[in-house]
Structure 1
Amino acid sequence: MELRVLRYFLAVAQKRNITKAAQELLISQPTLSKQLADLEDELGVQLFIRGHRQITLTDEGEYLQTRAREITQLAEQTALNIKGQEVISGTISIGAGESIAMERIMRVLSEIIKDYSDVKVRLISGNADEMETALQHGSIDFAVLMANRSLDNYHHLQIPESDRWGLVMRKDDSLANKAEITPEDFADLPLLMSEQAIEEHRFQSWWGNLDRKMNIIGTYSLVFNAQLMVAQGSAYLVTFDHLINNANNSQLTFRPLAPALTETTNVIWKKNVTQSKAAQLFIKRLMASLDTYA
């Protein structure tokens, strides 16, 4: 598979129309159609279902779209980083979930950008599984994990800031009168919980034999969307401290769990991979920040 053809495929997948994609790519429609047909022959699968007005991706097409994005992004980032080896330039790509520890990382990145105008930043949001997969595929340089995971296969740097779990509710809720939330308080509440935390059974020991009384009505990946449901008074959100924006949403408040339940944060990157100068600078500056901003 050639990168050029993968870019053609991505354009068609996005436009859902060969004519519009050909116009955007500045090539003829017959040429584009032939390139796609050749790609399907090469892979031995059908990538598109061609309709009258638009095309639809098959399951194989959906899979290729995901991987083609990763491949083309990796190629572009590699080219930029190689071109910038004489000076510090290129893109630092970081995948992370939501955490107070990201303030330190954003401070480091901001200082690098101020000092080196040719350095760009690419930020990807997702849970730990998604970010670790992206790191393994080479589509990001670093992953920031807020979870208890094995780090033996990576270089890693632990960030001093930790995240404490708690409950987000409306300020006019009776539980807002409590300083801390206990497992007994959780009983029968309509809870929105982190999908990753549920998969990893993070709260199993914390609430113990009250498991049967836990009413988990939904899961979330990003806190912003979940807190909108809490604001309606129809749910309670189990999440980290510092993530709800009280300045913009004065209806909500956070109360920590007791006994305390916390998560450490680690920045990880692949072993046996030569990092770009920009990525090397990020590691160096992040390590230095542990003394400067301890």
Structure 2
Amino acid sequence: MELRVLRYFLAVARYRNITRAAHELLISQPALSTQLSALEDELGVKLFTRGHRQITLTSQGEYLQARALEMVKLAERTVANIHTDDIISGELTIGAGESIGMQRILDVAGGILRDYPDTKIHLVSGDASEMEQQLTKGTLDFAVLMGERPLERYNALRLPETNHWGVVMPTNAPLAQHATIAPADLIGYPLLISAQAQAAHRFQNWWGNLEPQLTIRGTFTLTFNAQLMVRNGSTLVLTFDHLINESLKDDLTFRPLSPALTEPIIVIWKPHTVQSKLALLFIQRLQATLPPTTERT
């Protein structure tokens, strides 16, 4: 498959109309139709269902659309990162979950943007599994993991900051009178917990044999959305510290867990890969902010 043809396909998939796609691509409609038919022949599948006014993607077409977006993005990033030896330019893509510990990383990224005007930084949000998958595919340069993960396949830097688990609750809730929250304190309250933490059974040891008495009403991936559930009185939320949105601080408060439960913050990238000058600069500057005893694997 040629990148040019994949771009043709993506334009048609976006507009669901060959005439509009051909106009954007500055080619004739018959030529575009020929290219799409040739792509279907090459793959041996039908990518579109053609209607009178609009075309729709088949299931194979939807799959190709997702993969083609990744391939085209990777090609564009590769081209953007190829420059002369004496220039720092190109694009850097960093994937991470929500954490106050990102401040160190974003300070480094911000410094690079200020010092090198021909650079761009892209921030991608997601849980650890999503970030690792994108790193493996090559659509991320770096992933930031919130929690322990197997690191044998990566180069890694463990940051000195840690995330502390706790409960977000209404400011006027009875539990807000507690300095810390023990497992027994949560009995009788509806709870939302992180989907990633649930999949990893992160709280199993913390709440122990009290788990059957707790009321888990669901999971979340974005803390801000979960906090809106807290504000409307639906649930309490188990999440990291320092994540209450500024607009909600008058209504919500955070109390840490007891016994304390913490997560490390680890930056990872693929080993045995030729890094762009921009990626190498990011690693160098990030390392320079760390204490000498910081662990690198």
SS in 1 for 2:81: helix
Runs of 4+ in 1 over 6 A off after TM superposition: none
Give how far 1:58 is off: 2.2
Matched residue, 1:58: 58
Matched residue, 1:150: 150
Give the counterpart letter for 2:156 in structure 1: H
Distance 1:34 1:170 in 2: 60
Matched residue, 1:203: 203
For 1:47-85, what per-residue CA distance to the aligned partner results, in whole angstroms no more than 9, with x for missing partners? 222333333222222221221111111111111111254
How do residues 1-294 of structure 1 correspond to structure 2 at under 5 angstroms? Answer: 1-291=1-291
Give how far 1:190 is off: 1.5
SS in 1 for 2:255: strand
Give how far 1:18 is off: 2.1
TM-score, with structure 2 as normaliser:
0.94
For 1:217-266, what per-residue CA distance to the aligned partner results, in whole angstroms no more than 9, with x for missing partners? 22111111111111111111111001112455421111111111100010
Contact kept? 1:167, 1:237, Cα under 8 Å? yes
Contact kept? 1:84, 1:90, Cα under 8 Å? no
SS in 1 for 2:144: strand
Distance 1:209 1:276 in 2: 50
Distance 2:244 2:116 in 1: 32
Give the counterpart letter for 2:173 in structure 1: D
Structure 1 stretch 200-209 or stretch 185-194: which is displaced more?
A: 185-194
Equivalent pairs, count:
293
SS in 1 for 2:290: helix
Aligned-residue sequence identity (percent) comes to 59
Give the counterpart letter for 1:69 in structure 2: L
Contact kept? 1:74, 1:139, Cα under 8 Å? yes
In the alignment, structure 1 segments of 5+ residues that lack a partner are: none
Distance 1:233 1:218 in 2: 14
TM-score, with structure 1 as normaliser:
0.95
Contact kept? 1:246, 1:252, Cα under 8 Å? no
Distance 1:94 1:198 in 2: 24
Distance 1:219 1:185 in 2: 20
Contact kept? 1:146, 1:264, Cα under 8 Å? yes
Structure 1 stretch 48-57 or stretch 250-259: which is displaced more?
A: 48-57
Structure 1 stretch 118-127 or stretch 10-19: which is displaced more?
A: 10-19
